[in-house]
Every structure is written in C-alpha cells, then in structure tokens.
Structure 1
Amino acid sequence: MKNNNRTLLISLLIVFNIILDQVSKYWVRLHVAKGSNTEIFGDYLTLHNVENTGAFLGLGSDFNPILKIILLNVLPVIVLTLVLIHIFRDKNLDRFSLVGFACIIGGGIANIYDRIAYGQVTDFLHIDLGGVFRTGIFNLADVSVMVGMGCLIVGNFKKKKPEKPKKEEIINA
C-alpha cells in the first residue's frame, strides 16, 4: 500500500468513527429523553439516554475529580497519541491492524471529546439476548473500539507463522 493511500485510509477511518459516534450522540441527546427505555427490536435491543461520568460501565465515576481527569482524560490521550504515532511509523502493519488501530483511536477520541466537552459520555444502546448475552449501555465509540480489538485479534491470527523446516533440510544441516 502506498504511503499516501495508507495515511489517507488511517485518517479517514479515524474521522469516520468520530463523526459517526458524535452524530449518533447528538441525535440521542436531542430526541431521546434522559433515562428512557425504548424498544428498537423488542427487549433484545433498546435505546436509552444515559450520561456516564466514568469509563466502561461507569467504572471510575466515584473517583475524585483530579484522579478522574488523569485516568479518563490525560492517560487515554497519551496512549492514543502513542498508538497513532506507532501506526503512522510502522509501515509493516497489515490491513487488519491498521483498521483495528484506527477504529480504536477514533472511538477513543470520540469518548474523550465527550468527557472534555460535556464532562460525561452519552451512552444509548443496550443488548439483552434473554440472559444468554447482555451488555451494559454503550455507544458507537464503544462499538468502534470493540470492532478495532476484533480486527487486531483477526489480524494477529492471520499473520503467517514461520514455516517449519522440511525433514530433508534438518537431515542435511
């Protein structure tokens, strides 16, 4: 992949993830009552409007304000910046890894933006498959991060494993 195409792909994926997340949160803030529970697909997929002052599943919402800023804003910005530098510098990353990292960065930036702009993150989707599988309330930035992690896992499994030497090569060595 040419360097310009690679940079464009990374940038577009990050921006796409941020825009998709921010537009969906804007729509939810505008059209969905806080604390509501609306069925989208029965009880299996529901729409809410919940403001999360913490991280994943509200973890950290009880932290003191300084610790919250450090753990939920400063540290993620540092990590996302380092990952962004890594994907622009490492020209050997496969497409799954590039897409995965771009999705993680886009989703991370979108949630950090909410924390900085609003002091909280808007979550609005909930899945409950009758006790078989159940999520907390999440947003599209969270989906982006999870898709990114999935891409990294798939990319890791698809990497070529070193070939084992043939028996003849071992005997002749």
Structure 2
Amino acid sequence: MSSHSNGHQMPDGKPMKSAISWIWLSVLMIVLDLGSKALVRLYLGENDAVTVIPGFFDLRLLYNYGAAFSFLADHSGWQRWLFAIIAIAVVIGMIVWMMRMPRNRYWQAISAALVVGGALGNLYDRVLAGRVTDFLSFHWQNTYYYPAFNIADSAIVVGMLMLIWDSLRRKKPAVSDPAA
C-alpha cells in the first residue's frame, strides 16, 4: 500500500488528491474581500452611503468592533483577540479537514474553502485594524436596516449553509437492530 498524506487511494492504488487543492477559492475570496474593503474605504467616509437600489440597498462604510451583528462590539477590546483566536482555530480545523478530504468531495471542499477565505479576510481586518470593515447595507425604505456585512461574511455564510445542506441531504446509514 503506497503512503500518502491523506490516506485515500483511487481504485487503481494511486493516491487520491486532497481537497486542499480548492484553497485557490479561499485566496480568491480573500482578494475580493480585502480589495472591496479597500475600495470602499478609499471612496467613502465612515457612515457615508451610495444608494444602489433606492429604499433597499446601499454601499455604506461601517466598522464593526465585534462579531456578527456587532456582538460584543461595545466591550473594551478583549473581544478582538477572542474572535481572532476563534477564526484561527476555525481556519486550522477547516484546512486540516480539507487536507484529509478527497478532492472529489466538491461540495464540502468548496464550502470549506469559502469559510476559510471569509474567516481570513475578516481576521486580517480584526488583527491589523481592530475592527472589520462592512459596507453591504440592505434595508427596507429607511426604517429597517439589516446589519451591514462584507464579502468575507458572505463567503462564511454561504460556506456554512452549503455544509448544513450537505449534512441534511446525505443519507444516514441504517442502524441494524442487534436484537433482530
């Protein structure tokens, strides 16, 4: 039996490539996220808005010092490092999982790559600036505003929804009854 880092083999005995080859998608998400944040910071002042769809969608520069929905944003700063540690743990876990996953597990590989890219995009902001740049602002008229988010947040949410969908659609193996 030939040795390979992920231990998976093709029927012909050759080692199967791992899903880590999908890491290019993570890199693409990081580039799109950081590039879009830089453009927004370049052209908009804090809380300035550019209306894209009147009464529904604006580009608005906002800074989030907390996590999703500004969770813990009003604390003294310790949350910055807590969220950074959580992001690093998630990224390491996802990368190890991708390295062990066969490359042909496309759905799981893509979802993991999206989560890694999104987590690293926001981690960059959080560690270097102490805050995450958000700019996608959806609202109903000028009354109800959904919390602003960014490309990294979108990648994380889409990746996690894909993982949930994948886990729900998989057939569970039948459990045999030992008494039968």
Query: Common fold, TM-score beyond 0.5?
Result: yes
Which residue is 1:46 aligned to? Answer: 58
After superposition, the C-alpha distances for 1:31-54 in whole angstroms (9 at most, x for unaligned) are: 122111221011211110011111
Moved more, 96-105 or 23-32: 96-105
- State the percentage of identical aligned residues: 28
Equivalent of residue 35 in structure 1, options 47, 52, 56: 47
1:7 aligns with 2:13: no
Q: How does 1:18-167 map to 2 (within 5 A)?
A: 18-65=30-77, 67-91=78-102, 94-129=105-140, 135-162=146-173
- Unpaired runs of at least 5, structure 2: 1-9, 11-15
Moved more, 110-119 or 83-92: 83-92
SS at match of 2:171: coil
Work out the CA distance in 1 between the residues paired with 2:34 and 2:20: 23
Work out the CA distance in 2 between the residues paired with 1:18 and 1:119: 18
- Unpaired runs of at least 5, structure 1: 166-172
TM-score when normalising by structure 1: 0.81
Work out the CA distance in 2 between the residues paired with 1:94 and 1:163: 22
Work out the CA distance in 2 between the residues paired with 1:13 and 1:34: 30
Moved more, 122-131 or 18-27: 122-131
TM-score when normalising by structure 2: 0.78
| Alpha-carbon RMSD | 2.7
Equivalent residue pairs, number? 163
Q: How much has 1:163 moved relative to structure 2? A: 6.5
Which residue is 2:3 aligned to? Answer: none
The letter of the residue matching 1:105 is V
**Are 1:96 and 1:154, in contact at CA under 8 Å, matched by a contact in 2?**
no
After superposition, the C-alpha distances for 1:63-117 in whole angstroms (9 at most, x for unaligned) are: 233x324311122212221221122123388322211111111101100100111
